[in-house]
Amino acid sequence: MRLSLSVLEKFLLKSGFEVTNHCDAASGLVLCTARREADQAFVTYPHPLYEFRGLDRDQCTLRMAGDVAAIWGLTPEALALKALAEFDMPPQGFACTRCGRCCQRLGDAARGRIAPEQVREWEAAGLTRILRLVRRVDRPAYVFYEAWVNPRTGRYFKRCPWLARLPGGGRGCSIHEHKPLKCRAYPYDSEGAQRQGCPGFDHAPEFEVPEFEKKRVRAKGRPALPEQDAP
Ligand code: SF4
Ligand code: SF4
């Protein structure tokens, strides 16, 4: 996994920031501002789910990494390592029980936008069975990707098509190793998760972290910052 606007945004959400969007009339960009009430720290960046034409995403990512790094008092490289290391890390006191409730209940589990970097990763891995349920939408100023769309009807699925019954009981993700960034980052905090009926924090004290979670954390590759353009 590479550092991207989405990864940085999810790192901020996990660190107690709240995100709001607004359209910047001068540039025509949809901008996000992540703000933390406790210390009034904030970062502004282009919306991670829109690929704006003519905007260099790698440069935007580097700029955002620099802004976030300044808040933490780190170099951008150290911040990248931290953000990528913590991206997959469950919040303190949390252990997923694989009940599948989030996948069934959350509005954006079955329908929503997918980060362009995520689409690139699936393309690079040749995951056509996933990509065939993703629709690219072209607008004059930007591109975005919608999932999960039934290719036969052109409509969103009512439920996430990857949620499957597990052999040992319960429900789980049938594309677990490749699931979207938003699914990988969930949950961001205990209050939100408990409000949504997630039992992962209730079970945490006595619940053994499943082997698949341990494997996923162990298997993470070495993080990398986007390459800078040659001078
Ligand atoms: S892709 Fe997997 S983790 Fe995400 S909502 Fe669907 S079943 Fe759940
Ligand atoms: S609702 Fe919570 S415990 Fe259940 S699958 Fe989702 S993250 Fe895991």
Statement to judge: residues 25 and 106 lie in one domain: no
Gap between the Cα atoms of 79 and 12, Å rounded: 11
For residue 146, the 8-state DSSP code is E
From first to last of its 231 residues, the chain has per-residue pLDDT tens of: 889 999 999 999 999 999 999 999 888 899 999 999 999 999 999 999 999 999 999 999 999 999 999 999 999 999 999 999 988 888 888 888 888 889 988 878 889 999 999 999 999 999 999 999 999 999 999 999 999 999 999 999 999 999 998 877 778 899 999 999 999 988 888 888 888 889 988 754 444 444 554 554 455 443 333 333 332
Residue 96 forms part of a structural domain: no
* Token representation of residue 64: 């955002």
Residues 128 and 105 grouped into a single domain: yes
pLDDT value for 83: 94
pTM for this entry: 0.83
CA within 13 Å, CB half, 106 = 20
Same domain (yes/no): 115, 198: yes
Residues 72 and 142 in one domain: no
Chain position carrying tokens 């660190």: 15
| Cα 107 to ligand 1 centre (Å) | 12
Same domain, 111 and 193: yes
Helix, strand, coil percentages for the chain (3-state, nearest 5): 35, 20, 45
Q: Note whether 208 and 177 are same-domain residues.
A: yes
What is the number of structural domains in the chain? Answer: 2
Nearest one of 181, 224, 220, 182 to 62, comparing CA atoms: 224
How many whole angstroms from 102 Cα to the centroid of ligand 1?
8
Same domain, residue pair 114 and 170 = yes
Contact residues for 146 (Cβ-Cβ < 8 A; gap 6+): 111, 112, 113, 114, 134, 135, 137, 156
202 belongs to a structural domain: yes
Whether 119 and 206 map to the same domain: the answer is yes
> What contacts 208, CB < 8 A, 6 or more positions away?
95
41 & 17 share domain = yes
Tens digits of residue pLDDT in 215-230: 544 554 433 333 333 3
The type of residue at 193 is: A
Same domain, 75 and 118: no
Determine the 3-state secondary structure of 184 from DSSP. Answer: helix
- Is residue 80 situated within a structural domain? yes
Question: Distance between CA atoms of 162 and 81, rounded to whole angstroms?
Answer: 30
How far apart, in whole angstroms, are the C-alpha atoms of residue 16 and residue 133? Answer: 32
User: What is the Cα–Cα distance from 199 to 216, expressed in whole angstroms?
Assistant: 21
Q: What is the pLDDT of residue 215?
A: 56
Choose one of 65, 87, 109: the last residue of a domain: 87
Q: Which of 87, 114, 129 is the last residue of a domain?
A: 87
Residues comprising the chain, all counted: 231
Q: Is 179 in the pocket of ligand 1 (CB under 6 A)?
A: yes
- Residue 12's domain comprises 5-87
Residue 142 in domain:
yes
Ligand 1 site-directed mutation target among 10, 98, 114, 183, most atoms within 8 Å of CB: 183
What are the residues facing 135 on neighbouring strands? Answer: 146
Ligand 2: nearest atom to the Cα of 186: 7
